[in-house]
Structure 1
Amino acid sequence: MLGLSIREVSQALKEGRLSATELCRKCINQIERTRFLNAYITITEEQAMEQAQRADDRLRTGKPLGSLDGIPFSVKDNFCTENIETTCASIMLKGYVPPFNATVVQKLLDQGAVLIGKNNLDEFAMGSGSTDGAFGPVRNPWSYAASYREQSRGDPDSDWVIAGGSSGGSAAAVASLSSFLALGSDTGGSTRNPGSLCGVVALKPTYGLVSRHGLIPLVNSMDVPGILTRSVHDAAIVLRTLQGQDEKDSTTVQAQSTPHSIPEDFDIRDMCVGLPKEYHAPDLSKETLAQWSRVADMFEKAGARVREVSLPHTQHSIVCYHVLCCCEVASNMARFDGLEYGHRSAVDSSTDAMYATTRHEGFNNVVRRRALSGNYFLLKQNYERYFVKAQQIRRLIAEDFKRVFSSGVDVLLTPTTLSDATRYSDFIQEDNRTRSTQDDIFTQPVNMAGLPAITLPTGISHRGLPISLQLIGQTLQDWKLLTVAHWLEQQVNFPMIRFHGDSNEREVERSVSERTHITGL
């Protein structure tokens, strides 16, 4: 049951073969069984059961609100949720309870979806491992999968791998079968990175297609609510619900007409797939490179046109991204001063002393360093040299993509991460900035250009961990991107996660065997 797709579970709910309250209870029980993953900061059990009961009442009368009615979901804890604590995994916001829902959360609730919890993350979404939050690191569910345990033969308590970040809790929730969908935020790859490492589908929509209202900002000009699911079809269902203009977010655009569902008989021979030569990074693992080549060959053998393309300013992208990121972080973090909400220092000798102590106590080293760097870049004597230059390079990066797509390329195929998931003990040997520079190398150019991108698992490494690839589309061509991704998903037939020694394993395998084919986790 927990391994089924949203579409399959929705059908079971409508036909009365399953109740929303039963489904909600199973998800909450799964959260408890996988507590060691630390994927959730807050579990909203009481509210969830009430929402599920209302869904049952609607389903019983044959008046469901939509395809998500009764479907459990979770949300990264940097989206505001009415009357539910929202912390951004930071001491600074511990105890903050918003009086409103983020637009994307409200849209899901309006469709009858059931909110079961708030997911863990890197503090204020600054990181690539979900290891730098105030509530501890997130563990990748594949650390406990049968395939990884058979290969590693190590102690699960010391040999576990990271979930990726900063939306690691959201990805782990979907991968561990406790949530059918989760919302993350994607600023430089923060949805696609953990989606890749946890072996789930992660969609970063076109900038402006989905409202940012109620998403506590990191980088306003790049932030996009992301969607994590177990299949491309599920991601499409969620995007159809979330897309469109929002009067509370002036950057949103009207969604173009979209098909009712992704076509099953799509002819890939009409597509041209580009392979950016600059994405052959020096540290790219041999296994990831092999997957990239294998999938490119898969497209070509099916009749698609596959050709090498060039994005020459990619080499400057990561530096440009970090300058702009720090600048906007400095601006956005300035609002957290201890006066109106969140943490406030007990120091009262002066207002300045209270500000300084509050921010020192409330922010971790990662946030403080980025804010300090941003303020340095924005100094009057540095503004032209750093911020303006970075904006100019950002324009060149966007023009690279535009030129490639105008040459007839429909989608780009790239790696998502350099390798499969890293062991936690190895990951924490380097500082956050270095780790983010390495892990965001393939993902952040998309945010700089505002393009849609999706990552999906395509194979298993020799360590028994997922390897995923990224597809990048043209602006507002999200549905074409989803269609190509669905075609690829059908070809690779990625296996369902099997937890080592889990008594729930048979139930998951039985439910999956009832499906026509396996689509993601």
Structure 2
Amino acid sequence: MLGRTLREVSAGLKQGHITPTELCQKCLSLIKKTKFLNAYITVTEEVALKQAEESDKRYAKGQSLGDLDGIPVAVKDNFSTSGIETTCASNMLRGYVPPYNATVVQKLLDQGALLMGKTNLDEFAMGSGSTDGVFGPVKNPWSYSKQYREKRKQKPQGENEDSDWLITGGSSGGSAAAVSAFTCFAALGSDTGGSTRNPAAHCGLIGLKPSYGLVSRHGLIPLVNSMDVPGILTRSVDDAAIVLAALAGHDPKDSTTIQDPVKPWMLPSLNDVSKLCIGIPKEYLVPELSGEVQSLWTKAADLFESEGAKVIEVSLPHTNYSIVCYHVLCTAEVASNMARFDGLEYGHRGDMDLSTEALYATTRREGFNDVVRGRILSGTFFLLKENYENYFLKAQKVRRLIVNDFANVFNSGVDVLLTPTTLCEAMPSLEFIKEDNRTRSAQDDVFTQAANMAGLPAISVPVGLSSKGLPIGLQLIGRAFCDQQLLTIAKWFEKQVQFPIIQFQEPMGDCSEILGNEKLASVSLKQ
């Protein structure tokens, strides 16, 4: 059935069952229908339709550019897009139109993908709920799922109801909502401490954070240069692999990317896991972990073991220091990166210019929200000459210990680590906002940020529904630059758990109507 995955859609396009323009129009219709989710900041309708027309011509001539040709995609609004506003969901960059595309955006366009729009996020990607951007919060499509509503035994609320919705997770919540609501078939997020995997878990999606250096960061407006990685959100592991294959490789504009060319690869089917060793980090069993997530984690480990894999408990002894270490390093780099927004060089400029100091203060007060200003202040404190050695330098040393922990585990023969992605399922918005941003981020990134500090690939796979009918994801972490192996194992895992397709009630209605074209029901995936 068409529409569930990018791979299925691509097969339908190649077999002529649908045209890129028809597919684009369906997705644009769904974007308008689900506008109340606030998934998009900018919808690029004219751009997408023009790209679809060009794709139509290529297919008519039998000159398809590949699996992404004619596929609707979305991009988080902290990636630069030529001629299209890029705001980072902030007042500071409201109205900024870059003159160039981020490398990953350009690679998608070079493959014939259709850009549907720029998605919502926490301001400058600083948050874990997608509730702290200046364009308002993103609502989780699962708020309107039959699974969730039936469990609550409650009639669905209207689209104007402000209190009855769930968070998407963050900071790439807009990208997650866009894919989950069927408005596109893949979306780019950014992942600094879990910002792709966290919303993927809450929205029942695949969320992939590639190895640091495998994918270019050029054109991604930085949060933490040493940890930022472009992330991928899709509805299947195969789809994530297709997008990663298009994005991976050296970029002369990003010196941190790998120098060796990445060879084209297909994701093989794994039928036998008996030669695998799965590590279960004992430090990840924290008191705050919900019983349902813990139960699914145990069942997943039992599943691998029942199929012949070796499942062992491992230790990452410096995990307890990880979130504090991450906070120091994150805010220090934030303070450095945000210094460019001073009212003179980049972004918004305040009216108070009686002195340089007054201009700086006005500009940054008007351009940044409390969350961003708070991180700047913290990072500035850690970088002060009298504090540098006690905070930033020590955090760098702890980061090395965390990297060594992972190296020791993988050198002992472990192929991948199996962990939770989040502490619990998606929270109701009113419950989520009771805590401040820093506390929420520390809680929600507890299982994810260490992979960023170590530069390792990690993927969140949806494995089941909670008692409330909401998705729960588990995380697999692999060796650096062994992304293909990680995806292969994740594909096997995905096939075993058979996560259900989301089914909507009003006000969403049947957003999966994009699946309903009868002539597409028999699309062959043999390629």
Does the aligned pair in 1 maintain the 2:2–2:515 contact within 8 Å? no
User: Hey, what does 1:70 align to over in structure 2?
Assistant: 70
User: Hey, what does 2:504 align to over in structure 1?
Assistant: 499
Equivalent position amino acid for 1:86 in 2: T
User: Hey, what does 1:243 align to over in structure 2?
Assistant: 248
- 1:169 and 2:174 matched: yes
Distance, in Å, in 2 between the alignment partners of 1:421 and 1:410 is 29
Distance, in Å, in 2 between the alignment partners of 1:460 and 1:316 is 31
User: Hey, what does 1:54 align to over in structure 2?
Assistant: 54
User: Hey, what does 1:196 align to over in structure 2?
Assistant: 201
> How big is each residue's C-alpha offset from its partner over 1:131-171, in whole Å with a ceiling of 9 and x where there is no partner?
00000000000000011111222664222110000000001
- 1:485 and 2:490 matched: yes
User: Hey, what does 2:314 align to over in structure 1?
Assistant: 309
What SS is found at the alignment partner of 1:457? strand
- 1:335 and 2:354 matched: no
Distance, in Å, in 1 between the alignment partners of 2:524 and 2:371 is 43
User: Hey, what does 2:41 align to over in structure 1?
Assistant: 41
Equivalent position amino acid for 1:17 in 2: H
Which residue of the other structure, out of 211, 216, 222, is the alignment partner of 2:221? Answer: 216
Tell me the number of residue pairs that the alignment of Structure 1 and Structure 2 aligns: 518
Distance, in Å, in 2 between the alignment partners of 1:254 and 1:39 is 36
Which residue of the other structure, out of 361, 368, 373, is the alignment partner of 2:378? Answer: 373
> How big is each residue's C-alpha offset from its partner over 1:367-398, in whole Å with a ceiling of 9 and x where there is no partner?
00000000000001100000000000000000
Instruction: State the percentage of identical aligned residues.
Output: 64
> How big is each residue's C-alpha offset from its partner over 1:411-433, in whole Å with a ceiling of 9 and x where there is no partner?
00000000000110000001000
> How big is each residue's C-alpha offset from its partner over 1:456-508, in whole Å with a ceiling of 9 and x where there is no partner?
10000010100000000001000000000000000001111000145535735
Taking structure 1 as reference, are residues 437 and 515 closer, same or farther at Cα in structure 2, changes over 3 Å only? Answer: farther
What SS is found at the alignment partner of 2:222? coil
> How big is each residue's C-alpha offset from its partner over 1:149-196, in whole Å with a ceiling of 9 and x where there is no partner?
112226642221100000000011111110100000000000000011
Distance, in Å, in 1 between the alignment partners of 2:380 and 2:487 is 39
User: Hey, what does 1:26 align to over in structure 2?
Assistant: 26
Distance, in Å, in 2 between the alignment partners of 1:394 and 1:506 is 44
Distance, in Å, in 1 between the alignment partners of 2:394 and 2:245 is 37
5+ residue gaps in structure 1? none
Does the aligned pair in 2 maintain the 1:2–1:178 contact within 8 Å? no
> How big is each residue's C-alpha offset from its partner over 1:99-119, in whole Å with a ceiling of 9 and x where there is no partner?
000000000000000101000
- 1:227 and 2:232 matched: yes
Distance, in Å, in 2 between the alignment partners of 1:222 and 1:257 is 21
User: Hey, what does 1:148 align to over in structure 2?
Assistant: 148
User: Hey, what does 1:83 align to over in structure 2?
Assistant: 83
Equivalent position amino acid for 2:439 in 1: T
Q: Report the alpha carbon displacement of residue 6 of structure 1 after superposing the two structures with TM.
A: 1.4
User: Hey, what does 1:325 align to over in structure 2?
Assistant: 330
Does the aligned pair in 2 maintain the 1:126–1:366 contact within 8 Å? yes
Distance, in Å, in 1 between the alignment partners of 2:446 and 2:67 is 36
Distance, in Å, in 2 between the alignment partners of 1:404 and 1:219 is 26
Does the aligned pair in 2 maintain the 1:397–1:445 contact within 8 Å? yes
* 1:391-470 paired onto structure 2 within 5 Å: 391-470=396-475
| Root-mean-square deviation over aligned CA pairs | 1.8
Does the aligned pair in 2 maintain the 1:55–1:112 contact within 8 Å? yes
Distance, in Å, in 2 between the alignment partners of 1:265 and 1:229 is 20
- 1:159 and 2:164 matched: yes
Does the aligned pair in 1 maintain the 2:144–2:156 contact within 8 Å? no
Q: Report the alpha carbon displacement of residue 514 of structure 1 after superposing the two structures with TM.
A: 4.5
5+ residue gaps in structure 2? none
What SS is found at the alignment partner of 2:183? coil
User: Hey, what does 1:268 align to over in structure 2?
Assistant: 273
Does the aligned pair in 2 maintain the 1:2–1:27 contact within 8 Å? no
Distance, in Å, in 2 between the alignment partners of 1:258 and 1:511 is 36
User: Hey, what does 1:118 align to over in structure 2?
Assistant: 118
Taking structure 1 as reference, are residues 506 and 332 closer, same or farther at Cα in structure 2, changes over 3 Å only? Answer: closer
Distance, in Å, in 2 between the alignment partners of 1:189 and 1:57 is 39
What SS is found at the alignment partner of 1:92? coil
